[in-house]
Amino acid sequence: MSDDFDKHMGLNILIIILIVIAFIQYIHKKSSSIITRKQAYEFLSAIRPGVSIVPKSWPNGKRCAVALSVDFDAESSLLFKNNKSLARHDLFHIGNRQGVPRLLKLFKNFNIPTTFFIPGIVVELYPELTKEIAKHGHEIGLHGWIHENVEDLTKRELLDLYTKSKDVIIKTTGFIPVGIRTPFAKFSEHIPEVAKELGLLYDSSLVSDHDCFIINRRGKSTNLLEIPISRIRDDSTYFNYNKQIVPPKDVLDIWKLEFRKAYEEGGVFQLLVHPHYMGYRSRIWIMEELCKYINTFKDVWFCTHKQLAMYVKSQAKRGL
Ligand SMILES: [Zn+2]
């Protein structure tokens, strides 16, 4: 009886000890999951918008800069995600079959130079179309190799992929890229270093401002110019694959308002569209109406992102 009692007591004590240990571990785990002040400051300082560069005037006394851009992704984002749905891939073909030709025709009719950001694999998949884009005088910028998420990659991996992309663009078109837009609206603190090693002039991926600015990394200027984009001026906000989220007329109204205010302020109106969203008849209409509307304003400077970056940087050197 006494032996049984001792055994029972011993077991109870052991269970209590185990429960106490598990509770201490739980409390410790809970408290360590809260970010410390040091960790928060370290994370926040990785990449931040630095000094803004707002020229007092634009070339030849123009009042406002208009920089249109096209992200020609084709099927690259699906290939990156290893998506094997043929129907899903099919949704993107409207971009290369209708979107790019329609946009090229529209830009030619309005005599507008623009910037196409194209992943390396898309240049390889559609070499003739890429050559056509370059032949029309549009700038070609980097957009990853296979539309990869830059946040998952090391500096070495990014450098290898972007070098490969830069090489295929030069080999196909003869154009030397000077700008980068990171895919999926993601960003990495390695981008300024990668851009520097590739001899790039600007990035156009962040959404922190309307005006151009210099990107800071770990509290220091990287000297890399940012031409900010915006979710408001991005067609993927309103159209998702074949789904119509916002009516075309409403999208046109929003973009007209964005332009008009940029014009009043003497700033930059930057726009981002995708051929696989804009290839549809009711959507290319938005671009036609927008270009007609902008043309009713005097003294607008239509420029590529490269031209914009070169001008803004030259003004910064002169102290504006
Ligand atoms: Zn893209």
Q: How far is the CA of 183 from the centre of ligand 1 (A)?
A: 5
* Percent of residues, the chain, with pLDDT higher than 90: 78
| pLDDT exceeds cutoff 70 at 28 | no
Cα(48) to centroid(ligand 1), Å: 22
Query: So what's the pLDDT on residue 3?
Result: 61
Tell me how far the alpha carbon of residue 151 lies from the centroid of ligand 1, in angstroms.
15
For 88-103, what is each residue's pLDDT tens digit? Answer: 889 899 999 999 999 9
Does residue 217 have a pLDDT over 80? yes
Distance 263 CA to ligand 1 centre (A): 28
Residue 91 and residue 158: Cα distance in Å, rounded?
A: 28
CA distances, 10 to each of 2, 17, 74 (Å):
12, 11, 69
Q: Is the pLDDT of residue 50 over 80?
A: yes
Q: How much is the pTM?
A: 0.88
| Banded model confidence at residue 113, pLDDT cuts 50, 70, 90 | very high
- Residue 213 Cα to ligand 1 midpoint, Å, equals 22
What are the pLDDT digits (tens) for 293-315? 999 999 999 999 999 999 999 98
Report the separation in Å between the CA atom of 182 and the middle of ligand 1, taken as the mean of its atom positions: 8
d(CA 115, CA 188): 22
43 against 242, higher pLDDT: 43
Ligand 1 center from residue 297 Cα (angstroms): 31
Residue 99: the pLDDT is: 97
Structure tokens at 170: 């030069």
Q: Tokens for 308, please give them.
A: 């914009």
Lowest-pLDDT range, 3-7, 78-82, 182-186, 283-287? 3-7
C-beta separation of 66 from 259 below 8 A: yes
